[in-house]
Chain A
Amino acid sequence: MEKRNILQRIFLFYYNGFKSMTVGKTLWTIIIIKLIIMFLILKPFFFPNVLKRNFKTPEERSRYVIENLTNTNK
């Protein structure tokens, strides 16, 4: 029998593992759908990082936060 190197063995370990899954296939489908919803829909459309989006530098961000924190009448 042909002797495989470590990388091939790791690949085959995962390949055979995924191939022989039963309920795991359903679970992976759910995980992938969940990650797509989270990272391709929720994050870009509903959850931008407000400070990173609106300000380019850390100085601008800190200035904005200080304004927010010190202007208590807003």
Chain B
Amino acid sequence: MVEHIDLVNWSRAQFALTAMYHWVFVPLTLGLAYIMAFMETIYVRTGDEEWKRITKFWQTLFGVNFAIGVATGLILEFEFGTNWSNYSWFVGDIFGAPLAIEGIMAFFMESTFIAIMFFGWNKVSKKFHLLSTWLVALGANLSALWILVANAWMQYPAGMHFNPDTARNEMHNFWEVLFSPVAINKFLHTITSGYVLAAVFVIGISAWFLLKGRHILMAKRSIVIASVFGLISALYLAFTGDGSAYQVAQKQPMKLAAMEGLYEGRNAAGLVVVGVLAPDKEVDNEKDPFIFKVEIPKMLSFLGYRNSEAFVPGIKDIINGGYTFVDKDGNEQIALSAEEKIKRGKIAIQALADYRNASDIGNKEEKLQQKALLDENFKYFGYGYLNNPKSIVPNVPLTFYSFRIMVGLGFLFIAFFVVILVLVMREKLTQYRWILWISVFLIPFAYIASQAGWIVAEVGRQPWVIQDILPTVAAVSRIDAGAVQVTFVLFSIIFTLLLIAEIKIMLKQIKIGPKEGGE
């Protein structure tokens, strides 16, 4: 079995494993920090010591999550240098700059104020402590900003130009990278998913206390804060999700087609709410892609193009080309076929090779000619590594089902927060023990929704590491696949141990409860 999985697949699997484990720890930090900050704000404003006790309890769980998760992201950076060295070099400072800013600004800001947040109770003024808690929350979210800007650039490369002398992309407009519509939507959508997860987490743990009849006041107050924060976040999450999907429709139409299982494009396309894909459907057969589906008419066209009659290209259309679309400058264009893009990509790659040769022998005229040819075809550069037009199609079932899991759970959480909030306001929550149990069991589903979101984003954009410019097959280092397999196993063990440690320590702290909870 192992021999059939090549270096690229093992490198991808390893990166996916480490990224997904990393993302187990991150979202709770993003949201819980704000929930704690709100709780402490109430404490400072009212002087009610119970709010201090509540804040300190959640702060302990935040600390456990932060400590276990901290630096797990660095492993991804190790992998860039070892497994993805072509990619690391090729992206140049575009990827490096946001990550460096993240390291210097956000991480240090977060770390400095975390010390005050944990050690500073009764040692610094109440207001300064509160400020530190807010700055921890802000720092955690700023960390996420720079990582997500880097990721968004890979989905929609903007603000750069390729330098054939160094084989690196160089940033010519930092603001275009930072404020690209994909980056803004990705950042807002991702951090709010963390807020929703944290709210579900706080409600779940508090519900457990209510079920056990312990720390009732703390649990009820925590539920009030978390359900309000969760509801606002979940509604905003739906809004930013719409924004993200709109950007996908404009910039990554193949991902949208995979998300919808849409093989044949059409005008006034409907949005599949639930559906079962036909397992034997391929791009080149005429079988119905669905065994069963429930669709909202015209909704996909409306959401993707803000026009209920708009044409949404399907997988086959994107492969065959010939449909009309609006480019980033607002001009109508006829889409090229994947075959034509592959041809142009190969021209670009050859132009880079010829440019290099001309450079070596000092032929300036030839260099200029090849540079012009490269520039003309660079936007198809990545296609030159593909030999089959069908290889631009990502894993449709994985993308399709992950998208529905993410969206389905997202709407479930909105309903959940509404129900909890109504019951809390009517002081009836403790009467419905089954709702309290549901609250507890929903915690893992918040993580599943969050992971499903990343699967949509990352699997849906395959085969690209950088959209249209570099496929995974060209980004990977020429190293021994065996070494990648060894580290894959090693990471599986290390991260699983960390996760077990986190769960054990957290459960212990939850069992201890707020009164005796350590710092």
In chain A, positions 10-42 with a C-beta closer than 8 Å to chain B are 13-14, 16-18, 20-24, 26-28, 30-31, 34-35, 37-38, 42
- Asked if A72 is an interface residue, CB under 8 A from chain B, the answer is yes
- The interface on chain A, measured as residues whose beta carbon lies within 8 A of the other chain's beta carbons, has a size of 40
Across-interface contacts of A27 in B (CB, < 8 A): 63-64, 67-68, 505
Main secondary structure on chain A at its contact with chain B? Answer: helix
Q: In the complex the two chains form, what is the Cα distance from A67 to B81 in whole Å? A: 18
- Asked if B394 is an interface residue, CB under 8 A from chain A, the answer is no
B118–A50 touching, CB < 8 Å = no
B154 to chain A, nearest CB (A): 17
Across-interface contacts of A58 in B (CB, < 8 A): 166
- Of the listed stretches B29-37, B186-194, B250-258, B472-480, chain A binds B472-480
- Asked if B79 is an interface residue, CB under 8 A from chain A, the answer is yes
Q: In the complex the two chains form, what is the Cα distance from A41 to B346 in whole Å? A: 41
With known contacts A65-B90, A74-B478, A30–B501 Cβ distance under 8 A: yes
Main secondary structure on chain B at its contact with chain A? Answer: helix
B67–A31 touching, CB < 8 Å = yes
Chain A window 50-74, contacts with chain B (Cβ cutoff 8 Å), 1 for yes, 0 for no: 1110000010011101101111101
Q: In the complex the two chains form, what is the Cα distance from A66 to B351 in whole Å? A: 11
Q: In the complex the two chains form, what is the Cα distance from A30 to B506 in whole Å? A: 14
- The interface on chain B, measured as residues whose beta carbon lies within 8 A of the other chain's beta carbons, has a size of 52
Which A-chain residue is minimally distant from B353 (CB atoms)? A70
Across-interface contacts of A16 in B (CB, < 8 A): 119, 123
B501–A61 touching, CB < 8 Å = no
Chain B contacts to A: CB under 8 angstroms: 60, 63-64, 67-68, 70-71, 74-75, 78-79, 81-82, 85-86, 88-90, 115, 118-120, 123, 165-168, 346, 349-350, 352-353, 356, 384-385, 474, 477-479, 483, 486-487, 490, 494, 498, 501, 505, 508-509, 517-519
Chain A contacts to B: CB under 8 angstroms: 13-14, 16-18, 20-24, 26-28, 30-31, 34-35, 37-38, 42-43, 46-52, 58, 61-63, 65-66, 68-72, 74
